[in-house]
Amino acid sequence: MAIRHLPAYVPNSMDVHTQEAAFSPANRPMDDIIDDLETDLALAARCDSCVLLTGGPAQALDAAREIAGQGQPQHATVDVIDCDVLAGPALTAALCGRILGTDPSPGGILLIREVHALDPHHQTLLANLLDLREAEENTPKLIASTSIDLHARVAAGQFDERLYYRLNTIHVSVQDRPS
């Protein structure tokens, strides 16, 4: 689900393309974009669903910290797994330990950064862990981030479709976020 804020009423004289152009980030004041981002992050903080952040790694970390700061007390910490750094057994252990809550620091927020870098084996593993996670208590809130278009990777058969839809419950773009 992509979070998008469109007006409740659009005059009939505006066609769809005009509406899209009028509300695209390129044609909106920066204050409006920041307000929408803050609203989107507040929504993400209030629910337990997975969140997919699109933007750079630094912006994703800032957004995850903001979600942690606005969310429930049990989500006050942010742990990061960098998929473009970890590989093999180390990545498997990190994913299993944190997602299933067997890690000594349960709860909090788990940011899986650069999720597009997961190999097919770890994509399947993560999708299966998300299925198991629903039955567990005190598991971390899951936030995944990517700096590329995952939907295009799914269409090209390069990213697991089931995992994409599990991660993309709430989608927030942090690309326009000022530093």
Summarised one tens digit per residue, pLDDT across range 63-103 is 888 888 886 665 577 889 898 898 888 888 888 887 776 66
| Number of Cβ within a 10 Å radius of residue 12 | 5
For the cut 50, the answer to whether the pLDDT of residue 15 exceeds it is no
Residue 163's pLDDT band, with cuts at 50, 70 and 90, is very high
The per-residue pLDDT for 135 is 60
How many Cα atoms are found within 13 Å in the side-chain-facing hemisphere of 116? 20
How are the residues of the chain apportioned to helix, strand and coil, as percentages rounded to the nearest 5? 50, 15, 35
**Tens digit of pLDDT for each residue in 93-151?**
888 887 776 665 556 788 999 999 999 999 999 998 888 877 666 677 889 999 999 99
Q: What is the pLDDT of residue 157?
A: 94
The CA distance from 29 to 73, in Å, is: 33
Look at residues 163, 151, 81 and name the one whose alpha carbon lies nearest to residue 120: 163
Taking the alpha carbons at both ends of the chain, their separation in whole angstroms is 26
DSSP 8-state assignment for residue 74: G
pLDDT at 145: 94
- Report the sign of the C-alpha dihedral through residues 171, 77, 136, 43, in that order: negative
Closest CA to 59 of 164, 149, 172, 167: 172
Reply yes or no on domain 49-173 having CATH 3.40.50.720: no
Over 80: is that where the pLDDT of 5 sits?
A: no
User: According to the model, what pLDDT value does residue 159 have?
Assistant: 95
Kindly state the greatest CA–CA separation across the chain: 59
